[in-house]
Amino acid sequence: MIQLFGMTKMLAGNQGTLSLALPDGKRVKDLVSVIDAAYPKIGELLQKKKVLVSVNQEIAHEDLEVKDGDEIALLPPFAGGNR
Amino acid sequence: MSLEHITKADQPATDDEAMLVRVQREDFSIDEELRRVRRRSKRIGGIAMFLGTARDRSKGKDVDGITFEHYEGMAQKKLREIRERALKDFDVIEVLVLHRYGEIGIGDNIVLIIAGAEHRAEAFRACQWAIDELKQITPIWKLEHTPEGEVWVEEHP
């Protein structure tokens, strides 16, 4: 299960989570491909690194292996704001 | 290791320490939070504070209200990291970091940073660094309510 926040929820059709099957031994970049196939708008933002993937509450590198039970989320740009 | 030690390690050192980093729906009292920092040490001689409030205008558009969404768990973790790094990297005695979530009315409090140091220079530096860092690394998102509809900030990157 992948947690969604902010605009990614809207881009997924107002869902708070995505349930996508990912075989064991896969990496973050494989997850990005699976999301890209199902939700191209989110996929595009992931490719551009406008939306980041977090694994176990840390921003994940694309080569990080995703394990069963990992907490995964898609993080759109943070509220940030002007200085 | 005794059971007592295991239990202690799983909990914040003191209740007060847990209160120094919070993500909460309800408003906060600035006086109360200042007292919380001051009572941590009598060596504090300078306190710098940053308070972020909800503006009624954003990128040339009127804003009627804001909703903040946060990633429960990761948001708290990042705020704790900010406090810990501020305490390590600056000559400060205490740092408090609070952020609200949910619906926030125009003019209402959003975020509070308080840095207490022996002298003002380090208090100012730590306070500015903490709010800048918070905006970079904390998974919190802002939905602005405008007369034309709702817009996630950075929705059109």
Q: For residue B153, what pLDDT is reported?
A: 87
Inspect the interface and report whether the beta carbons of A7 and B139 lie closer than 8 Å: no
**B70 in any annotated domain:** yes
> Has residue B15 been placed in a domain?
no
Q: What confidence score (pLDDT) does residue B103 get? A: 98
Say what percent of chain B tops pLDDT 70.
89
* B19-59 residue pLDDT tens: 999 999 999 999 999 999 999 999 999 999 999 999 999 88
Of B74, B142, B152, the CB nearest to A54: B74
Q: Is A83 on the interface with B (CB under 8 A)?
A: yes
Domain that includes residue B105, residue range:
21-152
- Spatial distance between the Cα atoms of B99 and B20, rounded to a whole number of angstroms: 11
For B66, nearest residue in chain A (alpha carbons): A79
Query: Does residue B1 lie within any of the structural domains?
Result: no
Q: Which residue has the tokens 């906060």?
A: B28
3-state secondary structure of B143: strand
Cβ B68–A79 below 8 Å, yes or no? yes
| CATH number of residue B110's parent domain | 3.90.1170.40
Q: Is A69 on the interface with B (CB under 8 A)?
A: no
Tell me whether residue B148 is in a domain: yes
Q: Does A57 touch chain B (CB under 8 A)?
A: yes
Q: How many domains does chain B fold into? A: 1
d(CA B100, CA B156): 24
Residue A79: which pLDDT band, with cuts at 50, 70 and 90?
A: confident
Question: Per the domain annotation, does B134 fall within a domain?
Answer: yes
- Its pTM stands at 0.89
Give the mean pLDDT of chain A. 91
Which positions ≥6 away from B114 have C-beta within 8 Å?
B33, B34, B37, B47, B48, B49, B94, B95, B96, B127
A2-75: CATH topology: Ubiquitin-like (UB roll) (3.10.20)
Nearest Cα to Cα of residue A20 among A7, A8, A10, A31: A31
pLDDT in tens, B115-145: 999 999 999 999 999 999 999 999 999 999 9
Nearest CA in chain A to B154: A77
Dihedral sign computed on CA atoms, order B71, B76, B82, B88: negative
Q: Is residue B113 part of a domain?
A: yes
Instruction: Give me the residue label for tokens 């989570």.
Output: A17
Q: Say whether residue B60 is in contact with chain A using an 8 A CB cutoff.
A: no
